[in-house]
Structure 1
Amino acid sequence: MPLLSSKIPPRSLLRFLLPSSSSLPFSSGAAAAEPRSQKLNRIADELLSLTDSEREDYSTLFRLRLGLNIPSSSGLPASAAAAEGAAAGAGEEEVKEKTAFDIKLDKFDAAAKIKVIKEVRTFTDLGLKEAKEMVEKTPVILKKGVPKEEAEAIAAKLKEVGATVVLE
């Protein structure tokens, strides 16, 4: 048979068993309960007034003070999250190199319009009419999400035939 105390907290069990629990050394009187409740309400109000980043910092600090090694909300351990935050602050100067580019036809020489249309057709699956309409709508994005090497090759070919191309 399971113990009754496994389902009832120890203080509640003692209060139930002993008629005068106020004489116990760990019991709290009504006077002590009110300031404790006010203190907890004040702390709760202060925590709710924090911004999201302050709450994240607080939760990390709280875990560290308690000696817990619980992962933070980002899925990293608290020490790794703190290190990542420090690295992000120092690494803002570094710019991530883009790997995918959009090829934008900015303008073209009027004499080279036919050559530009033919070149646009070589790297897109457009027909003559669609390619002509696209070229006439300059500035227009010809292709999106192209790898760097391919984008540079296409831009070079378009520049050879008299177009001004921007990689975005």
Structure 2
Amino acid sequence: MSLLTTKISPGPFLRLLLPSAARPLSSAAPASGGASAEARTQKLERIADELLSLTKAERDDYSILFRLRLGLQQWIPAGGVPTPGAGARLAAEAMNPAEVKEKTAFDIKLEKFDTAAKIKVIKEVRTFTDLGLKEAKELVEKTPVVLKKGVTKEEAEAIAAKLKEVGATVVLE
């Protein structure tokens, strides 16, 4: 990966940053073409003011658009929102393909159930929780609710299958 570097003379930037009275004499605009230099400075100041007035979301969109116009698509992540240090991270990912991490702990969430099967759902909830009849009934009536957290994949799939058999809609998160 090659990086392009260019040296920019500080003259134009000093004109933007320093008020005219505080500018050094060497950075004063020449007599010929002074009006065009002043017009450029005013244009740059206007652009800078407009960029500073943008919201954070608008600045993000602008930075993406600016990079696309410059032909720097490889530096924009797939989600479209650049993050600090994205260039180094993307370069590291290109060197070492990311390994897909498989989720090991699941939460069992009861989304909804048939009202006719409410008693069966409550009984089934009691089988895999340590709740009494009243507590299980209250929990089921709070639907949608997480019934159990941090369960292994096999156990979660078994519980979800049993709940689906009795008429409940279950989601593993």
Name the TM-score, length of structure 2 as normaliser.
0.46
As a proportion of its length, which structure holds more helix? 1
So what's the TM-score if we normalise by structure 1? 0.47
Greater radius of gyration (CA): 1
